[in-house]
Chain A
């Protein structure tokens, strides 16, 4: 503390009201002063990567470990890479990521079909649980959807004629 005080002795009154008990982050944070060393801690060994990991531009290097699930690919991957040119404070970061997520859904369906697996979307949406616990609503929803589809279909057909 004395060394720090020496650094600021040209500022009249520096630190006279400092109160170490004024620590609103306690007890969630056990303040050690390590914050003032910034990011210069002894780093853990770094994970070796065989897949592409995107990095926030708000940090200088990759973190020591990362998940390797689903690396960026396809059109959604292009958008994700673009998003990482912007900081986390920018819509330029998040909006392309959200768009990429939606495009990725279509890519997923195409990949499924390419692999010979036609996705069972009702099952993926938990229709079995609806049938078991929410049957009345499921039937109502199905009937309503069928009725709307029929009306649309009929309207379109009569227009063509």
Chain B
């Protein structure tokens, strides 16, 4: 089968790989019909995540058709169209039982801080991902969810990560009616977080980025205020002024390790790799939120250390909430939101690229060419 093949920082290609097999009685094999490149794939692509091995296949946002099931799979059948959550969850460990499906303890031997994630380095379990024609999906009765008949598959593929992560970013913000919510990062997750902030009753939603085309999109799509931090000098000062010198009620970091905006963070975090990526957005979030406010983190960082003003977290009495999205927990509610028209995930998709052109797709997305917001890869086997 054809699959994306990582060759080193900023180098990928498509090559032939063996077909995935059932390796556990609760596995299934899915024929991928759509697979996205996620903003967090850029951290892998740039070589920022330790134990990203040459020859790996990325891709944790994919949907597909069940082609084969293991002997202990009872809820799915061959031919089902399924949403595959990005996190691999057993459903039986103490963490899964408490609906922390992003923190499963039975899906990743190689790190205890993170559960298994498809196509996200050996630090996240060493699974091949869905930027391929086929993928092995463990614990098939737990994560994968049958796509409702009425649902557009372009909506479905964004329910694997972008929508749940954006929604959980807002949820973790503990938004109270009328709150001012600031989101750093106008990528797909940040824009979705802005959209979802309204669902929780926000009174004002502000998104910050440096790319005008994304800010324009966010303004329209998420009906929010959008500002370019390059135009404002100090974004923290700008946000203090625009919130009557009080600070935002909730700040969301939807950027993570690849942030720009601070030379110190960029040099130490991305160029010299002395910290686990550039924590610029988190730094701004901590300093822009009000005293007693909440900082919600969904931006992905590497597993080592980052320079953040932790003293201000203490002195301001902040609550910091963070996690990988618990996709399975959120899916029923999110499917309802899509059905009711409150969320329109497919509106984020800007590029549809054949899997064979994965190298170009990564470059377009990473370098923000052609006003790219969300690329979807389509394997040639998608229509069989």
Given contacts A44-B26, A44-B106, A45-B72, contact A70 B55 (CB under 8 A): yes
Interface string of A74-98 (1 = CB under 8 A from B): 0010001001100010010010011
A151 at the interface (CB under 8 A from B): no
Checking B90, B273, B303, B319 against A64 with a beta-carbon cut-off of 8 angstroms, the contacting residue is B90
A119 at the interface (CB under 8 A from B): yes
Residues of A within 8 A of B24 (CB): 44-45, 47, 64-65
Given contacts A41-B93, A94-B304, contact A65 B106 (CB under 8 A): yes
Residues of A within 8 A of B23 (CB): 47-48, 65, 68
**B154: shortest Cβ distance to chain A, in Å?**
22
**B84: shortest Cβ distance to chain A, in Å?**
14
**A146: shortest Cβ distance to chain B, in Å?**
21
Interface 9-mer from A1-9, A12-20, A49-57, A153-161:
A49-57
A66 to B109, CA, bound (A): 7
Can you spell out 14 A-B residue pairs with CB atoms less than 8 angstroms apart?
A: A29-B100, A35-B94, A44-B26, A48-B23, A53-B126, A54-B122, A56-B109, A65-B26, A67-B127, A80-B51, A101-B52, A107-B54, A121-B11, A126-B367
B residues at A contact (CB < 8 Å):
7-13, 23-27, 47, 50-57, 72, 88, 90, 92-94, 97-100, 105-113, 116, 122-123, 125-128, 138-139, 168, 171-172, 273, 302-304, 319, 321, 323, 326, 357, 359-364, 367, 369-370
The answer on a CB contact under 8 Å between B55 and A62 is: no
Residues of A within 8 A of B171 (CB): 27-28
A22 to B53, CA, bound (A): 43
The answer on a CB contact under 8 Å between A133 and B370 is: yes
Residues of A within 8 A of B97 (CB): 32, 34, 41
The answer on a CB contact under 8 Å between A41 and B303 is: no
Residues of B within 8 A of A119 (CB): 7, 11, 13
Residues of B within 8 A of A67 (CB): 116, 122, 125-128
The answer on a CB contact under 8 Å between A125 and B109 is: no
Residues of B within 8 A of A62 (CB): 109
A59 at the interface (CB under 8 A from B): yes
Given contacts A28-B172, A67-B126, A129-B363, contact A94 B303 (CB under 8 A): yes
A69 to B13, CA, bound (A): 16
Residues of A within 8 A of B367 (CB): 126, 129-130, 134
Given contacts A44-B106, A55-B109, A64-B90, contact A28 B25 (CB under 8 A): no
**B131: shortest Cβ distance to chain A, in Å?**
13
**A50: shortest Cβ distance to chain B, in Å?**
9
Residues of B within 8 A of A128 (CB): 357, 359-360
Residues of A within 8 A of B94 (CB): 32, 34-35, 37-39, 41
- Can you name the residue of chain B whose Cβ is closest to the Cβ of A91? B304
The answer on a CB contact under 8 Å between B105 and A124 is: no
The answer on a CB contact under 8 Å between A97 and B7 is: no
Residues of A within 8 A of B25 (CB): 45
The answer on a CB contact under 8 Å between B10 and A31 is: no
The answer on a CB contact under 8 Å between A108 and B8 is: yes
Residues of A within 8 A of B12 (CB): 124
